[in-house]
Amino acid sequence: MSLLPVAPAPFRYDAGRPCLDLLATGHPVERLVTGEDVVGWCVGAGLIPARGPLPLPQPHWPAAVREVRGHLGRLVDASLGGRRAPQALDRLNALALAAPPVPQAARAHDGRLVAGLHSAPTLSALLSLLARDTLTLLTDPGRTALLRRCEGEGCPLIYLDTSRGQRRRWCSSEVCGNRERVARHRRRTATGAPPPNPRSSIAGGA
């Protein structure tokens, strides 16, 4: 069992839910390669507190989490498309049966209560957290109504649109949004079209 803090990893946590953030770990490249990656992602996603105790990562963990990622991705995609994914649902329901990590609280040096765990979580406990988060999301009509597909070209990611007016278009403004702005600028440059007039845009309500 390791009590050492997990070094930050280059993961994204901007989809609005841990189960949706997990989908981003496989795009555009695989980021869950080692057991340490799995633990680091879980801490960053808020599934388990950094205070620990943290589990000792095992080599087979990435494959197990990637398998769950595939099931939850198929179930979320099916829900968006009004379809069924019975095998994915059965698998996530089965995984959710395992007991999740038991939370504990401790006093920090300044007297605040800080989150911890009773014991280092097992792999089945971590997978249970992911399955439960997916099932809780997809059985909440208010949340499922906010599910959106990224409009970025070639981007398969899905996110919760909690923006004002639900006008969010991309999984990330810094990633797909910026890519679209660069592509738009290149198209204008290639055609010799002038850039949009900010005053005209404001006047037109764009």
Mean pLDDT, rounded, for 41-62: 95
User: Which residue reads 């649109």 in tokens?
Assistant: 161
**Are 84 and 69 in contact, with CB atoms under 8 Å apart?**
no
Question: What pLDDT, on a 0 to 100 scale, did the predictor assign at position 175?
Answer: 78
Structural domains of the chain in order of their starting residue, each with its CATH number:
18-171 (1.10.3300.10)
CB burial readout 168-189, b (16+ within 10 A) else e = bebbbeebbbebbeeeeeeeee
> What is the Cα–Cα distance from 190 to 58, expressed in whole angstroms?
51
CB neighbour burial string for 97-131, b if at least 16 within 10 angstroms, e if fewer = ebebbeeeeeeeeeeeeeebbeebbebebbbbbbb
Question: Which pLDDT does position 153 carry in this prediction?
Answer: 87
d(CA 142, CA 163): 14
The torsion angle over the Cα atoms of residues 123, 129, 134 and 140, rounded to 10 degrees, is 170
- Note the pTM of the prediction, 2 decimals: 0.82
Question: Sorting pLDDT into bands at 50, 70 and 90, what band is 154?
Answer: confident
The C-alpha atoms of residue 190 and residue 184 are separated, in whole angstroms, by: 10
* Residue 8 pLDDT > 60: no
Q: 152, 171 in Cβ contact below 8 A?
A: yes
Q: Give per-residue pLDDT as tens, 72-125.
A: 999 999 999 999 999 999 999 999 999 999 999 999 999 999 999 999 999 999
